[in-house]
Amino acid sequence: MKLMCGNANKPLAKTIADYLDSPLSNVEIETFADGELFCRIDENMRGEDVFLIQPTSKPANTHLMELLICIDALSRASARRITAVIPYFGYARQDRKTGGRTPITAKLVANLIARAGADRVLTLDLHAGQIQGFFDIPTDNLFTTPVFEQDIRKHYQTDNLLIVSPDVGGVVRARALAQRLGAEIAIVDKRRPRAGVSEVMNIIGEVEDRRCIIFDDIIDSGGTLCNAAAALKDQGAAEVSAYITHGVLSGKAVERIESSVLKELVVTDSIDVRERSAAAPNIRVLGVAPLLGEAIRRIANEESVSKLFD
């Protein structure tokens, strides 16, 4: 087994390598004057089972091209199997046609990864589970639910706890966490008049005097989360925290979180947010390297990945 990574999230890749007690392979990624990328792998990859760790986070296009170029380099170096480990799968929100003459970019990216030469994909909390069907190669979608459950039990009392889905589409995700914690759920009914803007219409469920935890897969600009937290407080919630897998945190998201009613926002290190999270005292980063590392170990040993969530 060989591990290698691009530039998107080297700290996570190093932590995974430490967990597996396997060093990262040497790879050089250069950028030419006109913005073109070049990859050179400095180790023999012939016949190896290679795991390439590269989320497609900001800048999404650059990191996606790094992923594709590295996969092509590994394929031409005669690697036996190439697994693209994509902790954060960018373009996942473009998983359907939202109007006439619009693309389904998540499917396009899935095609690019497969055509580049990847044999398998390992990812974390896809925005929509059906995106697995966009790939024509085996795809493992890991869930952060066990990691979040353990952290919630460590930092919160589970009595009087309420798990909140920020929209109807996240109900299944919220219910899975609530069942593990023996908690009830509530739903934020919202509408989105345009991309990046949401308005809370109603809260479905009894939230008065409850300790609410909003559970979602992506926080981008932070507007939806902050509006939902404010609506919960207006309905009488005792406190509001949030557990979000992927901390995109674009624009003024950090400032919004810092000035919001949120007691705490917990995100994973699927995206490298160390600098941005350090600017807000109520943002905490939770590591997912053990989860990803154990999945990589199981794939390399041809063991079941789904048993991680039994």
First to last CA, the chain: 26
Which residue numbers belong to the known binding site for Mg(2+)?
127, 167
Rounded (10°) angle between helices 145-155 and 171-181: 50
Which residue numbers belong to the known binding site for ATP?
34-36, 93-94
* Number of residues that this document lists for the chain: 310
Which residue numbers belong to the known binding site?
34-36, 93-94, 127, 167, 192, 216, 220-224
Residue 66 is encoded by which pair of tokens? 């790094």
The single residue of 10, 97, 154, 190 carrying the catalytic annotation is 190
Q: Coil, helix or strand for 51?
A: strand
Q: How far apart are CA 149 and CA 151, in angstroms?
A: 5
Q: How far apart are CA 246 and CA 227, in angstroms?
A: 18
Q: Exposed (0-12), middle (13-18) or buried (19+): which is 104, by Cβ within 10 Å? A: middle
| Dihedral pair phi/psi, residue 169, rounded to 5° | -65, -20
Q: How far apart are CA 236 and CA 214, in angstroms?
A: 15
Q: Is 190 a catalytic residue?
A: yes
Which residue numbers belong to the known binding site for D-ribose 5-phosphate?
192, 216, 220-224
Residue ranges of E strands in 47-108: 49-53, 81-86
Residue 220 is encoded by which pair of tokens? 């981008």
Q: Parallel, antiparallel, or unpaired: how do β-strands 264-268 and 37-41 relate?
A: unpaired
What positions carry a catalytic annotation?
190
